[in-house]
Amino acid sequence: MRVVCLAGPSDSGKTTLVEELVPRLTDRDVRVATIKSIHHDVEIDTPGADTHRHRTAGAETVIGITPELTFDISTRAKRTPPPLPDGATDGGLLAADPDDPELEALVSTLARLERRGYDTVLVEGFTAAPVPTVLVGDGDPENVGGEVIGRGSDALEALVAKICDLEELSFSETGDATGSPEDSSDSTTRPASNADE
């Protein structure tokens, strides 16, 4: 699975670039997931709704399935990262900082997305992650954890080509993206969009 970080200051155009890259990647038959780092708590579930009631009753994960979307809400996040799925590895990413809970949460999420069959993950934020990075705005290359592969001002087709040519990361012990049935059973569902900052 290819993973690329979009890093830059607030309001530099990271989300706009994600919106421009996703359709160009999917036009190439690339299955894309996105991850957004949000630095403050937001309520993405409607208080009083059944899913909210399930979560406040103590469920660690609640999955809602509507006619158009499937969404997953977990109480495991940056403060208490979810464990890696059985048979998963950290893809070498935790070597940078094995005690960083934010990086642990990202790695666990990437491992689950790999099991779900995604080809490419665009990560907005998580600037310290040691993954290939596109700098947006006046971001400083010294402030990112990964190799800078482009800038947000580069031509979109050039960025898409660079992303498609990235070396793939593997988060499975065997080097393939197969997992247990419960991990891969939702491989046909599309992730719901998350609340933004």
Q: Contact 148/58 with Cβ under 8 angstroms?
A: no
Burial class (CB in 10 A: 0-12, 13-18, 19+), 129: buried
* φ, ψ of residue 61 in degrees (nearest 5): -135, 135
The predicted-structure confidence for 84-104, as pLDDT tens digits, reads as follows 888 888 888 888 788 888 899
> What is the rounded CA–CA span in Å between residue 109 and residue 189?
16
User: What number of other Cβ atoms are within 10 A of residue 112's Cβ?
Assistant: 21
Amino acid in position 195: A
> What is the rounded CA–CA span in Å between residue 43 and residue 125?
19
Residue 178 has pLDDT above 50, yes or no: no
Kindly state the tokens that stand for 66. 């509507």
The predicted-structure confidence for 36-53, as pLDDT tens digits, reads as follows 887 656 567 778 888 888
Edge to edge, what strands does the sheet with 133-135 contain? 32-36, 120-124, 2-7, 133-135, 148-151
Question: Average model confidence (pLDDT) for the chain?
Answer: 83
